[in-house]
Amino acid sequence: MTHQITDQLRRVRESISSACQRSGRNEEEVTLIAVTKTWPPEVIQAASEVGLTDFGENKVQELTSKAPLFPKKTWHMIGHLQRNKARQVVTHAHTFHALDSLRLARALNRLSAEAERVLPCFLQVNVSGEASKFGLDPEEVGLFLTEMDPFSSIQIVGLMTLASPDLHKVRGEFQLLRRIRSQHKQLSGTGLSMGMSGDFEIAIEEGATHIRVGSALFGPRH
């Protein structure tokens, strides 16, 4: 298993490296999050052995069962979250990537304060306009940021998006996310969580600071 991950990781790192070169960026600006959803702890162990440090899960239950087994790793909750499961995210995740409502923000803020921590959060924005996608509409971001002001136990660390499956559209969508960041002074200096196995090179060219990669590292999920 380690061999297989080594090969695929080498390929992913080469792609990251060339995307950085093409766009004049430094590789250190890009955090590779290995998305281990559906994969068992043995796969995470193998991935740790080849040097991966950041892991992502999109379901609370999987986060809760896997993160405590690898406490030295940095865990990212990347999927939609229901308020009644916010506590587990505050307990187990280093960073939350899918903040998309004020009520959820309020719950996370209260629980983080109780836990005496600050939770880094990316605001999820729906840039493709698909009704099936979670996230704020681009024009809602400004008001949302203002409403977040008093929440001192949440730190907004950037914007996150899922691009549409249409590869002709993704570059424009990533550019839109970046443009939204530049329109709000509260977001200056923050990151962009965008790009998955099929589109992370484009995402890096358009400024991604966090890419969330599953199948390109671990193969297809069953």
Ligand X SMILES: *Cc1c(COP(=O)(O)O)cnc(C)c1O
Binding stretches for ligand X (CB under 6 A)? 35, 37, 58, 78-79, 162, 196-198, 212-216
Q: How far is the CB of 193 from ligand X (least distance, A)?
A: 8
DSSP string, 99-118: E--HHHHHHHHHHHHHTT--
Q: Is residue 77 within 8 Å of 63, Cβ to Cβ? A: yes
Instruction: Return the ∠ at Cα 91 (arms to 89 and 98), rounded to 5°.
Output: 20
Beta carbon nearer to ligand X, 20 or 213? 213
Amino acid 201 reads E
Q: Is residue 62 within 8 Å of 52, Cβ to Cβ? A: no
Instruction: Return the ∠ at Cα 168 (arms to 18 and 80), rounded to 5°.
Output: 85
Beta carbon nearer to ligand X, 207 or 214? 214
Beta carbon nearer to ligand X, 15 or 186? 15
Beta carbon nearer to ligand X, 80 or 110? 80
Instruction: Report the half-sphere exposure of 32 (CA within 13 A, side-chain side).
Output: 25
Q: How far is the CB of 56 from ligand X (least distance, A)?
A: 7
Beta carbon nearer to ligand X, 178 or 212? 212
Six-digit token string for 77: 């909750």
Q: How far is the CB of 78 from ligand X (least distance, A)?
A: 4
Q: Is residue 208 within 8 Å of 178, Cβ to Cβ? A: no
Q: How far is the CB of 124 from ligand X (least distance, A)?
A: 9
Residue 30 CA to residue 156 CA, distance in Å, equals 18
Q: How far is the CB of 141 from ligand X (least distance, A)?
A: 19
Closest-approach residue to ligand X (CB): 214
Q: How far is the CB of 199 from ligand X (least distance, A)?
A: 9
Beta carbon nearer to ligand X, 12 or 156? 12
Q: Is the dihedral of CA 182, 21, 44, 218 positive or negative?
A: positive
